[in-house]
Structure 1
Amino acid sequence: MDSLITAAARALAAGDPFGALNRVALRSDAPALALRGIAMAQLGDLVRAKALVRSAAQAFGAREAVARARCVVAEAEIALALRDLAWPARRLDAARATLEVHGDQVNAAHARYLEIRHCLLVGRLGEAARLLDGLQPGLLPPALRAVHELAVAGIAMRRLDTQAARAALGFAAQAADSAGIAALAAEVERAVDALHAPAARLLQKEQAERLLALDEVEALFASGSLVVDACRHALREGAVVVSLAGRPVLFALARVLGEAWPADVSRDALAARVFRARQADESYRARLRVELGRLRRLLRPLAEVRATSQGFALVPHHGPVAVLERPVESAHGAVLALLSDGEAWASSALALALDASQRSVQRALDALAADGLVQPLGQGRARRWMSRPVAGFATTLLLPAALPGD
């Protein structure tokens, strides 16, 4: 590389995009295009960055396979920041394999971390953990060690292992300090904020509802209480979990019974709450009996659904019953939860992450926009949706330090 390209690459590796642009802004050769694209990405102009990085990949010759692979890795990270979850993952996998074959282990590891972060965004925790196990962070530069620990913390937070998450974030803070990259340190701080932010709302009979942080949720799950978890649509007691994620009617029944515990709920009230029936006639009562029979069979390891003179009651085998809800209860809480990371999402990416139809996601976004909870940016296919930035596990651009052309 010539001296200007080398200096620009070092500036980007240190998190100084303006210093890099001062050296290559007027050049249009392939290495300069790649560096300009990464600089624009770090400055937040992701659309322009994507075009520049793609142009750089096309400008590199067929013999410059490593440089082209690095451009693909940079484009994949920009796609992740844009929440373009439909970006072809096979391109990133092929680029990672090319980098490994040519001995560029740092950028190959960076590509692997992008795969891991994609898995975290769409909820594939098992796959993310499997990919993470094959990496050796001790051999990586400080910036990637911090990214590794952020990924460890992200998995631990989603699995409610707050002790492991806290330890990983401590290591991430040390690595970010060693790297000296302000954006990286800020991302670690946001992850720490997310660890201490309200994660759920607790409803218990004869007690005022209150917000719980992740460590309090973890303690509740270990307390022996029967938890009706409206965040994950499951009932759990200790290590025993009964998922009702695909059974909305059954979960609605369990939730109404859990909120009323230890009292019972009348048949008419159950029908009105679960089936939204204005008046419970015999057809609703028959359907109620069928659904309660299904619920009884599923909840057998945890509790009974006992008939009373007035209706039905939830009777746990052991401790008390607690109902856990999202911090902000909303009909479109899952969409809000994804948007809470402060990034701009396309409706198609939200549909992929939620495994829902794009039309239903668009209806949810329109409803949330009408309530002032989210806002659109752009028009047509370029439209993205955002909520107000809040503490969360976001993706800051940390593009490769070993850059095209070296």
Structure 2
Amino acid sequence: MDSLITAAALALAAGDPLGALDRVALREDAPALALRGIAMAQLGDFDRAKLLLRRAARAFSPKEAVARARCVVAEAEIALVSRDLGWPAKALDAARTALEKHGDRLNAAHAGHLKVRRLLLIGRLDEAEHVLAGLDPAPLPPAARAAHELAVAGIAMRRLRTRPARAALEWARHAARKAGIPGLIAEVDSAWLALETPAARLIAQGREQPLLLEEVEALQGTPALVVDAFRYAVRIGRTTVSLASRPVLFALARTLAEAWPGDVSRGELVARAFGGKHADESHRARLRVEIGRLRAELRALAGISATRHGFTLVPRQAHAVVVLARPIEERHAAVLALLADGEAWSSSALALALGTGQRSVQRALEPLAEAGKVQSFGHGRARRWMTPPVAGFTTTLLLPAPLPNG
């Protein structure tokens, strides 16, 4: 490797893309194309970066398997940052295998961290943990160690384990400062901010209060009956009743929980559960049926008693009833929460992260765009959606996580 290529590579490792381009901007050989591609990615020109990396991969000879694999890893990182979550993950797995086979453990670990980050974005925590468990952070240089600890913290936060998350972020902060890369330091600071920003709202006895992530975690250990509006479930401790597939029953449970220890009129229950403005006899008959179904679902946790005006929730063991709600609740809030990370998302990536159809996401984006809450750029497959971060609440922390111990 010649001196200019070496110098450009060192500049990129230090987070200096302009310094790297000064050395290889006019060269067309494969190593220079690859370094130019990475430099353009660091500068935010992802389309140009992908083109250069693909040219570099073709320019390397078949015998240069490691160089080709590094190009694939770099392209995978661009896909992740640009939220192209449909990028072929198998290509990254193949590149990682090739790098491990040829002893390039640093870039193999980087490929592993990219896979973990993608799995986190689409909510596949068990797989992310499995991949991360196979990566040894001890021999990694500071920048790679920071990336590893950020992945550890990301999983811990989504599992509602704030103590290990803080410990991982301390390691990440130390490693990022040692690496001296401004972008990496900013990423660690952003992760810290997520721990210090309200992640949910607690609704109890007619009052609301914001909760930090560690307070949400603490709520899991209390004896309260929790109606969880993140995961559409009702639980006490480890006993959980999922109502994710029963939206009417969950709406009734939440309405009763918000009014506890008081009761809720039949008219209000009809309005909240069925959307009817006036409760006629057909609505009242349906309400009786749905209340009976809810009683059956919650029989291990609570009863539902009829009152003169309506119904009231009667917990069997808990001495308190609370609702755990999203920081901001409005139509298409899940889409807004993902976009609030400030990155540019495609509709297909949003659909993959939310576990829904792309057309459903597109239908959600249209009214949000009309209301000025999101904006798009590009056309066709290159179209991307984004919104400035919404101040005062976390973005996706609790959206994709399964129930603890569930």
The bucket for the TM-score relative to the shorter chain is over 0.9
**Structure 2: which amino acid aligns with 1:379?**
H
Contact map agreement 1:190 1:393 (CA 8 A) in 2? no
Separation in structure 1 between the aligned mates of residue 313 and residue 10 of structure 2, nearest angstrom: 63
Tell me which amino acid in the other structure corresponds to 2:146.
A
Rounded to whole Å, the distance in 1 between the matches of 2:343 and 2:235 is 32
Mapped partners of 2:364, 2:395: distance in 1 = 22
CA distance in 2, matches of 1:293, 1:154: 41
Task: Tell me the equivalent position of 2:234.
Answer: 235
Which residue in the other structure is 1:285 paired with?
A: 284
SS at 2:341 equivalent: coil
Match of 1:51 in 2: 51
User: Are the counterparts in 2 of residues 231 and 324 from structure 1 also a CA contact under 8 Å?
Assistant: yes
Q: Give the corresponding residue for 1:123.
A: 123
1:30-45 → structure 2 map (5 Å cutoff)? 30-45=30-45
Mark the runs of 5 or more structure 1 residues left unpaired by the alignment: 395-406
Which letter maps to 2:354?
A: L
1:86 aligned residue: 86
Shift of 1:260: 1.3
**Displacement of 1:122:** 0.6
- Contact 2:252–2:273 (CA under 8 A) maintained in structure 1: yes
Q: So what's the TM-score if we normalise by structure 2?
A: 0.93
Partner of 2:218: 219
241-250 vs 194-203, greater mean Cα deviation: 241-250
Q: Normalised by the size of structure 1, how large is the TM-score?
A: 0.93
Matched letter for residue 3 of structure 2? S
Match of 2:374 in 1: 374
Shift of 1:353: 1.0
Q: What is residue 333 of structure 2 aligned with on the other side?
A: 333
Matched residue, 2:323: 323
- 1:172-199 Cα offsets, whole Å, 9 max, x none, are 1011112111111110000000111111
Q: Over residues 27-83 of structure 1, what are the superposed CA-to-partner deviations in whole Å (9 max), with x where a residue is unaligned?
A: 111111110110011111111111111111111111111111111111111011111
1:27 maps to a residue whose letter is: R
Question: 2:49, 2:230 → 1: CA distance?
Answer: 37
| Shift in Å, 1:390 | 5.4
Equivalent-residue separation in structure 1 for 2:293 and 2:85 (angstroms): 37
Give aligned-pair identity as a percent.
67
Q: What whole-Å deviation, never above 9, does each CA across 1:84-113 have from its counterpart, x for those lacking one?
A: 111111111111111111111111111111
1:138 aligns to what SS in structure 2?
A: coil
Residue identity in the other structure for 1:377: F
2:17 alignment partner AA? P
- Pairwise CA distance, 1:297: 2.6
Corresponding letter in the other structure for 1:81: V
Q: Would the aligned equivalents of 2:338 and 2:395 in 1 still touch at CA under 8 Å?
A: no
Matches within 5 A, 1:350-389: 350-389=350-389
* Matched letter for residue 16 of structure 1: D
Counterpart CA distance in 1 for 2:163 and 2:300 is 29
How much does 1:393 deviate?
Answer: 7.7
Equivalent pair of 2:206/2:258 in contact (CA under 8 Å): no
8 Å CA contact 1:154–1:393 kept in 2: the answer is: no
Deviation at 1:299, TM superposition (A): 1.9
Q: How many Å apart are 1:170 and its aligned residue?
A: 0.5
1:164 aligns to what SS in structure 2?
helix
Q: What is the CA distance between 1:302 and its match in structure 2?
A: 2.0
C-alpha displacement of 1:323: 1.4
Contact 2:337 2:395 in 1 (8 A): no
Aligned partner of 2:262 in structure 1 is 263
Distance in 2 separating the partners of 1:345 and 1:237: 37
Equivalence for 2:272:
273
1:168 aligned partner: 168
Letter in 1 for 2:243: L
Q: Deviations over 1:111-158 (max 9, x none)?
A: 111111011101111111111111110021111111111111111111
The ranges of structure 1 where at least 4 consecutive aligned residues each deviate by more than 3 angstroms after the TM superposition are: 389-394
Supply the distance in 2 between the matched residues of 1:341 and 1:95 (Cα, whole angstroms).
Answer: 28
- Map Cα deviations across residues 203-224 of structure 1 (whole Å, 9 max, x no partner): 11143x2211111212222222
SS at match of 1:323: strand
Q: Who is 2:106 aligned against?
A: 106
Q: Distance in 2 between matches of 1:75 and 1:179?
A: 23
Q: Say if 1:141 and 1:331 are closer, same or farther in 2 by CA, change over 3 A.
A: same
d(CA) in 2 for partners of 1:255 and 1:385?
32
The question of whether the paired residues in 1 share the 8 Å contact of 2:72 and 2:92 is answered with yes
Contact kept, 8 Å, 1:191 with 1:393, in 2: the verdict is: no
1:400 maps to none
Report the counterpart of residue 149 of structure 2 in structure 1. 149
CA distance in 1, matches of 2:25, 2:42: 15
Contact 2:377 2:385 in 1 (8 A): yes
Distance 1:393 1:74, change over 3 A: farther
For these two proteins, the number of residue pairs brought into alignment is 393
> In structure 1, how many angstroms separate the alpha carbons of the residues matched to 2:395 and 2:337?
11
CA, structure 1 residues 393+315, in 2 after alignment: closer, same or farther (shift >3 Å)?
closer
Residue in structure 1 matched with residue 403 of structure 2 by the alignment: none
